[in-house]
Amino acid sequence: MSNKVKLVEVGPRDGLQNEKSLVDTKVKFEFIKLLHEAGLDCIEVTSFVRPDKIPQMQDSADLYKMVADKLDLQKLRTPCLVPNLKGLEKAKGLGVKEIALFTATSNTFNLKNINASVDESFIRLEAVAKEALENDISIRGYLSTVFGCPYEGKIQTEQVLRTLEKLMKLGVYEVSLGDTIGVANPHQVVAIISEIKKNFDLSKMAMHFHDTEGMALANIYTSYEEGIRVFDSSAAGLGGCPYAKGATGNVATDDVVNLFEKLNVETGVDMSKLHEASRFILEHLKKDSVSKFYNAYRGRHSKA
Ligand code: HMG
Ligand code: MG
């Protein structure tokens, strides 16, 4: 099995979507450019959702245009989150080549997040997936609340497998399994991946850990040992979903790259350039990083 991993950078979307003050579109673009220069070649740039629900993403069309205009999209994949046909129409109009469709294992979370139950969400997604595939737009899938829901608590494994199967049937090339509120532990990770392995091709699975309880790196290492080779992360550990109360950001790309470097696993990412990208966005947000490695690196490289 390959000792390379693929990182999907979700900082510009998941990382920023919860930020209250609106980040300038040009700043978002510069962040994406720096991330790409650091070697990240799959960056989720934005989402085409209701602007009143997620105000930070209201500039999605302008941002996508800027990215398509100024960056080489032969070398950079730029999936965009799409919730429904209306979002797909916008994405299509801009020439988006790849979308990410999302649903969850939990009815309550879905109702709050996308105003649809799990079953209703699949009716919506089927139409979107059909239209996208007919237009040669490839689809990544997200399954949220795999390890726990902020409203319903623990989710039964059967429910995870059932929803995962429905998502795969939409024609997605990969499903990202979300620990939306950051409550997973390595034992749960082993248990769920063992079940998934029995029924699905593991090379089509990615893991998406939020780091609320500081367990994300342990869960990533465990997932890697279990055979997963694709991981979502967010530069500087920014992020969160407004409909997942109390949950903090995604695992920091900085920490994930450091972990894999120490394990001699190739990520394709240049650490010093990644640090610049993280520093750039943190300075704009006037925030400190929650990434242990970002802070250690900064300490080591700052002039005494
Ligand atoms: P809805 O209210 O059910 O939609 O929203 P509707 O079809 O009933 O339409 C109502 C109004 O919204 C209409 O406007 C539509 O035009 C408009 P009006 O006629 O009243 O003026 N509308 C839209 N406007 C712009 N773009 C659209 C769109 N669709 C309808 N695409 C919807 C359903 C899902 C759109 C809404 O609930 C929504 O946008 N929710 C936000 C979801 C979101 O972005 N959540 C965060 C991302 S998910 C996440 O973070 C988890 C993840 O990271 C994985 C993990 O961590 O587990 C992916
Ligand atoms: Mg997320």
Residues found in the chain: 304
Q: How many domains does the chain have?
A: 1
Q: Tell whether 1 is covered by a domain.
A: no
Q: Tell whether 47 is covered by a domain.
A: yes
Nearest CA to ligand 1 atom 47: 241
Taking the C-alpha atoms of residue 95 and residue 114, their distance in angstroms, rounded to an integer, is 24
Q: Which residues are catalytic?
A: 241
CATH number at residue 98: 3.20.20.70
The per-residue pLDDT for 240 is 73
Taking the C-alpha atoms of residue 64 and residue 46, their distance in angstroms, rounded to an integer, is 8
Q: Tell whether 167 is covered by a domain.
A: yes
User: Which ligand has the shortest distance to the CA of 180?
Assistant: 1
Q: Tell whether 284 is covered by a domain.
A: yes
Whole-angstrom CA distances from 76 to 35, 43, 71, 218, 259 are 10, 7, 8, 29, 24
Taking the C-alpha atoms of residue 268 and residue 162, their distance in angstroms, rounded to an integer, is 34
pTM: 0.97
The per-residue pLDDT for 89 is 98
51 C-alpha to ligand 1 centroid (Å): 8
Nearest atom (ligand 1) to Cα of 51? 25
Domain with 291 in it: 6-301
Q: Tell whether 17 is covered by a domain.
A: yes
The per-residue pLDDT for 98 is 98
Q: Tell whether 152 is covered by a domain.
A: yes
The per-residue pLDDT for 304 is 60
The per-residue pLDDT for 296 is 96
The per-residue pLDDT for 1 is 65
In tens digits, what is the pLDDT along the chain, a chain of 304 residues?
Answer: 668 999 999 999 999 999 999 999 999 999 999 999 999 999 999 999 999 999 999 999 999 999 999 999 999 999 999 999 999 999 999 999 999 999 999 999 999 999 999 999 999 999 999 999 999 999 999 999 999 999 999 999 999 999 999 999 999 999 999 999 999 999 999 999 999 999 999 999 999 999 999 999 999 999 999 999 999 999 999 987 778 777 889 999 999 999 999 999 999 999 999 999 999 999 999 999 999 999 999 999 986 6
Ion ligand 2: residues, CB within 5 A, are 14
> Which among 46, 47, 49 is the best mutation to test ligand 1's pocket, defined by most ligand atoms within 8 Å of the CB?
49
Q: Which is it for strands 205-209 and 46-47: parallel, antiparallel or unpaired?
A: unpaired
Q: Tell whether 27 is covered by a domain.
A: yes
Name the residue with tokens 């992020």: 239
- Which structure tokens are listed for 210? 């939020």
Q: Tell whether 220 is covered by a domain.
A: yes
